[in-house]
Amino acid sequence: MFSPRHQERRAAFTDGEWLVAVGKNGDDFIYYGVNLETRDSITLRRAAVSANSQRQVYAWNNGNYRYQVAWRPSDPKVIRLQVFDGTRELLNRLLYQTN
């Protein structure tokens, strides 16, 4: 989604429990995450980006937690959301585009 007011593009993905939107504002990638059951939410900025022709990975750090979104250009309507506490994986879900 493109918002002329903020010059930001955003795509949203969900699995019914989690809603994640990844936005781009200039060179900054922004993570918006909401647990749809508890309504807990988080916004993170300044992603580390790694990419090749088959997969792009965006990672945001929040203290000891790392939020990671992987996206394949060949399947642009699906992302993999992973959350890590240090090296321990807490969450690993496929989310599907809503818009």
Number of domains in the chain: 1
Structural domain of 9: 2-97
> What's the CA gap between 7 and 56, in Å, rounded?
22
**How confident is the model over 2-16, as pLDDT tens digits?**
233 445 567 999 999
CATH of the domain at 7: 2.40.128
Element at 49 (helix H, strand E): strand 48-51
Sign of CA dihedral 93, 62, 26, 57: negative
- In this prediction, residue 10 carries a pLDDT of 77
**How confident is the model over 25-43, as pLDDT tens digits?**
888 999 999 999 999 999 9
Instruction: Decide if 96 contacts 11 (C-beta within 8 A).
Output: no
**pLDDT grade, residue 1 (50/70/90)?**
very low
The answer, as to whether pTM is greater than 0.95, is no
AA identity, residue 2:
F
Q: What value does the mean pLDDT of the chain take?
A: 90
AA identity, residue 97:
Q
